[in-house]
Chains A and B, each alone.
Chain A
Amino acid sequence: MGRAAYIRRRLILMVLVLFGVTVVIFGMVRILPGDPAFLILGDRATDQKAAELREQLGLNRPVLEQYWLFVSGFARGDMGQSLLYRQPVGQLVLSRVPVSLALAAYAMALAAIITLFFGIVAAVNKGRWPDQLIRVGFLFALTTPNFWFGILLILLFGLTLHWFPVAGFGETGPEHIWYLFLPALTLALQLSAVLIRNLRSQIILTLRSDFVRTARAKGLSETLVLLRHVLRNALLSTVTIFGLQFGFLVGGTIVVETVFALPGTGQLLVQSIAARDYPVVQAITVVSAVLVIVVNLAVDLSYSFLDPRVTYE
């Protein structure tokens, strides 16, 4: 199969998955016994309020029609009205997306730097103390709850040393970078814990190949061999895993935004759940799923550009 046919097939599959995603989200409130209107209203429920909400959410129409309204609304960017903020959900969510995306991108950049540095150091020193230290250290990073780690960073670098602000997003560009450093670092350390394992074993594997021996034999310095020959080949699978961790990163932003009081979609999600603002919860869930689907597709496709040898099955 050629690249075009592969892309076409993946796009069709993506549409099917998107359809499934909307069915899951749509079905989630309706699958439960009881009246969703009462569920959403909780303690505030009265018969009259429930009737109004049913009308507003279209809950008294046939199920298929409800689903159609839900999906076509999404396609048009109309995701209903927030019950808490009394404004269109689409606007509300979109206003929060840049913060979360900036946090995710920042975390990925930091993770790339951390992974490259420690992955190379560990692989080159395989079996010796720097390698052991890095392995143990990042085992801890992997199993540390990220909300706890974020709080520790606040305690140390924010409240005790006063190097970084403890909450908020800042106003200007440089301020954003400064405010987002600790939250991004929290996510990046955990992300790199997964990546370093992979990069380390890939570098060790590549170091054994014939072309590395040739490069060394023709007198290239070890640094050149490492950067030009080994890394380029070893990075391939690490980059893929990097992309596939995007879903994990999106989940992580929810927690980290709550810890660092960042006005992103994660914080909005947590607030909306507490307030039973279900249209917002629904919208954020769909948006994050769509983001993950698109990023995963992009990762799969980029594989063929990174490595011309890749063929499609």
Chain B
Amino acid sequence: MSKALDARPLADVQMARPASAVRRVRLEPTLVFGLLLLGVVVFVAIAAPMLTPYDPLEQRFTEAFLPPFSAGHILGTDNFGRDIWSRIAHSARLDLQIGLLSVLFPFLFGSLIGIATGYLGGKLDTAIMRIVDVLMAFPFLVLVIAIMSILGPGLTNLYIAVGAVGWIPYARITRGETLATRHLEYVLAARTIGCSSARIMRGHILPNVIAPALIYVFTGMVLAILTGATLSFLGLGPQPPTPEWGAMIAEGRQFLLLAWWMTTLPGLALLVVGVALSLIGDGLAENRGG
């Protein structure tokens, strides 16, 4: 009996939960185009070894500095004679991974914090918001670079550094939404029938406040990929010879006049991913009338 009650909350409480944002998405042109573009990049990342006969690390000094559209090297080669298309394609894996992983944990952690502080309020809320104030006082890149300078260069440390600051927007977004939601009737109703705080936050608050945070994930991914590329451009990211777009741009800088393609092409790849993710974010935001 009690189990049955537990499994089926009151009907009006359940009805008050709007369908999740994902189910109601209208296919805006920006969204469709962004998804297509991202699809291409993801395909290139997955199929990289099949799309090019060259090992991204293989050096052939006899074939150095070949311009784009050379025989066998569609995008040319770099100073070590490495195939640029192969390096760009393999690097797509790494950069997408950076975008995904450096957003995943901040998103989960930040949303959790935002919902908890927004719903529970009190000293926890005050304390965490003061921490947010302090971290927000630092310019994002300066703080990330300062953290990297202590942790040392490398991919894992990059995730830690970006994650240490990256949770803040999600916490702020979900906290604001939670503050607006916590006094709504269906939350009061749930509280009246004796739902625990944890259950209300999980079952009633979370589904209603998570959509804006999910939309921000795409902006966050653009920021994370650009930050990752910037850090490896500054020599703080994945170490050579690992193919990474930011590092490739840095390597090509010395040969700017000799081989413009070494810097230009990896930057274009970054641009494509950035535009794709921004368009998806914009398309989803338009869905919410934002």
Binding site for B on A (CB under 8 A): 13, 16-18, 20-21, 23-25, 28-29, 32, 39, 139-140, 142-149, 151-152, 154-155, 159, 247-248, 250-252, 254-255, 258, 269-270, 272-274, 276, 278, 281-282, 284-285, 288-289, 292-293
**Residues on A with beta carbons closer than 8 Å to the beta carbon of B139:** 247-248, 250-251, 288-289, 292
Contact A288 B138 (CB under 8 A): yes
Contact B138 A285 (CB under 8 A): yes
Contact A151 B256 (CB under 8 A): yes
Interface status of B117 (Cβ within 8 A of chain A): no
Interface status of B235 (Cβ within 8 A of chain A): yes
- Which one of B149, B230, B246, B270 lies within 8 Å of A281 (CB-CB)? B149
Cα–Cα distance between A24 and B164 once the two chains are bound (Å):
12
Contact B141 A251 (CB under 8 A): yes
12 more CB-based (< 8 A) A-B contacts, given A39-B150, A247-B138: A16-B130, A16-B133, A17-B137, A24-B134, A25-B146, A142-B278, A145-B246, A147-B233, A151-B253, A152-B264, A251-B142, A273-B145
User: Min CB distance, A41 to chain B, in Å?
Assistant: 13
- Which one of B150, B249, B253 lies within 8 Å of A29 (CB-CB)? B150
Q: A247-B139, A292-B139 are in contact. Are A28 and B234 (CB under 8 A)?
A: no
B140-170 near A? 1/0 per residue, CB < 8 Å: 1111011111110000000000000000000
A-B contact pairs, 23 of them (CB 8 A): A13-B133, A16-B133, A17-B133, A17-B137, A18-B137, A20-B134, A142-B274, A143-B271, A144-B270, A145-B229, A145-B230, A155-B263, A155-B264, A248-B139, A251-B140, A255-B230, A255-B233, A255-B234, A270-B145, A270-B234, A272-B149, A273-B236, A285-B142
User: Min CB distance, A23 to chain B, in Å?
Assistant: 8
- Which one of B145, B147, B249 lies within 8 Å of A148 (CB-CB)? B249
B224-245 near A? 1/0 per residue, CB < 8 Å: 0010011001111000000000
Residue in B150, B246, B274 with the greatest tally of chain A CB atoms within 10 Å: B150
Interface status of B135 (Cβ within 8 A of chain A): yes
Contact A148 B278 (CB under 8 A): no
**Residues on B with beta carbons closer than 8 Å to the beta carbon of A250:** 139, 141-142
Contact A147 B249 (CB under 8 A): yes
Contact A24 B135 (CB under 8 A): yes
Cα–Cα distance between A276 and B235 once the two chains are bound (Å):
13
- Which one of A143, A152, A289 lies within 8 Å of B142 (CB-CB)? A289
Q: A21-B138, A29-B150, A288-B138 are in contact. Are A154 and B145 (CB under 8 A)?
A: no
Contact A273 B149 (CB under 8 A): yes
**Residues on B with beta carbons closer than 8 Å to the beta carbon of A17:** 133-134, 137
User: Min CB distance, B150 to chain A, in Å?
Assistant: 6
Cα–Cα distance between A9 and B137 once the two chains are bound (Å):
17
User: Min CB distance, A11 to chain B, in Å?
Assistant: 14
Contact A140 B230 (CB under 8 A): no
Cα–Cα distance between A50 and B267 once the two chains are bound (Å):
42
Contact A143 B275 (CB under 8 A): yes
Cα–Cα distance between A18 and B145 once the two chains are bound (Å):
19
Cα–Cα distance between A278 and B152 once the two chains are bound (Å):
12
User: Min CB distance, A269 to chain B, in Å?
Assistant: 7
Q: Which residue of A lies closest to B235 (CB)?
A: A274
**Residues on B with beta carbons closer than 8 Å to the beta carbon of A20:** 130-131, 133-134, 137
Cα–Cα distance between A236 and B67 once the two chains are bound (Å):
50
Interface status of B54 (Cβ within 8 A of chain A): no
Contact B249 A248 (CB under 8 A): no
Cα–Cα distance between A181 and B122 once the two chains are bound (Å):
50
Q: Which residue of A lies closest to B260 (CB)?
A: A155
Interface status of B187 (Cβ within 8 A of chain A): no
Cα–Cα distance between A248 and B133 once the two chains are bound (Å):
16
**Residues on A with beta carbons closer than 8 Å to the beta carbon of B236:** 273
Q: Which residue of A lies closest to B250 (CB)?
A: A147
Q: A25-B146, A39-B150, A148-B249 are in contact. Are A248 and B267 (CB under 8 A)?
A: no
- Which one of B141, B234, B267, B279 lies within 8 Å of A152 (CB-CB)? B267
Interface status of B71 (Cβ within 8 A of chain A): no
User: Min CB distance, A149 to chain B, in Å?
Assistant: 8
- Which one of A151, A274, A285 lies within 8 Å of B249 (CB-CB)? A151
**Residues on B with beta carbons closer than 8 Å to the beta carbon of A21:** 134, 137-138
Cα–Cα distance between A282 and B142 once the two chains are bound (Å):
10
Cα–Cα distance between A18 and B143 once the two chains are bound (Å):
15
User: Min CB distance, A228 to chain B, in Å?
Assistant: 31
Contact B275 A140 (CB under 8 A): yes
Q: A16-B130, A142-B278 are in contact. Are A147 and B230 (CB under 8 A)?
A: yes
Interface status of B257 (Cβ within 8 A of chain A): yes
Interface status of B222 (Cβ within 8 A of chain A): yes
Cα–Cα distance between A258 and B236 once the two chains are bound (Å):
13
